[in-house]
Amino acid sequence: MAEDKKTENKPETIVPHDVYLKSGIHIGTKFKTKAMSKFIYKTRPDGLSVLNLQKIDERLKVASEFISQYEIEDILVVCRRENGWKAVKNFNKLTGIDVFAKRYPPGVLTNIELETFMEKKLVIVVDEWADRNAIRDAIKMGIVVMGLCDTNNHANNIDLVLPCNNKGHKSLGLIFYVLAREFMKKKGIIKNEDEMSLKIEDFVADQ
């Protein structure tokens, strides 16, 4: 009876545990920074750091709530990492949120004379190092930055850190699928996951 009660009180994860594991969302790198140490569960004998799945889940929930506070036209996703291009492009397809699935050209957020100039209130970056130009521009304009951060990221100038494996195609596919699903639900675009025209596998880049 006590076990049943314990199970009932256990908080539900935003993604089933086995789906998290299959995506490798928790697998980090052999490097770890001080900023990311609080999200690390353990370091394996081979030196590879492993992220805490519970903390990933908690932050994914927070991130989903956070981005839903902004309007579609106020958000920009930047992803220079090729493994994430398919994920962010389909994120754009479902939500309508602008994405840069390539190198971010400096000045897009700061130079009003550019044809590509954008006014945004939230920038989501897939890697704080690879997408550093976008972060620099966001800082200049006082734009909020949410960043996907692996164990080796410094997370400097990131307002909201989403700890995860930001290099794996399965991990990135899962993250942007969930963010799209939750954003659309919270905005009233869909009522449930069954109404989504794309599935998790559609977000995963071919290898």
Can you tell me the distance from the alpha carbon of 113 to that of 121, in angstroms, rounded to the nearest whole number?
19
Give the DSSP H or E segment for 17.
Answer: helix 17-23
CATH class label, 2-186? alpha beta
For 121-142, write each residue's pLDDT tens digit.
999 999 999 999 999 999 999 9
pLDDT-derived band at 7, boundaries 50, 70, 90:
very low
Neighbours of 115 (CB within 10 A): 5
**Segments making up each domain of the chain, as ranges:** 2-186
Residue type, 62: V
Asked if residue 3 has pLDDT above 90, the reply is no
pLDDT given for residue 9 in this prediction: 53
Residues in contact with 68: Cβ distance below 8 Å, sequence separation at least 6, in sequence order: 182, 183, 186, 187
Q: Please name every residue paired with 160 in a beta bridge, in sequence order, or none if there are none.
A: 146
**Helix residue ranges, H only, 103-197:** 132-141, 169-186
Pairing of strands 144-149, 160-163: parallel
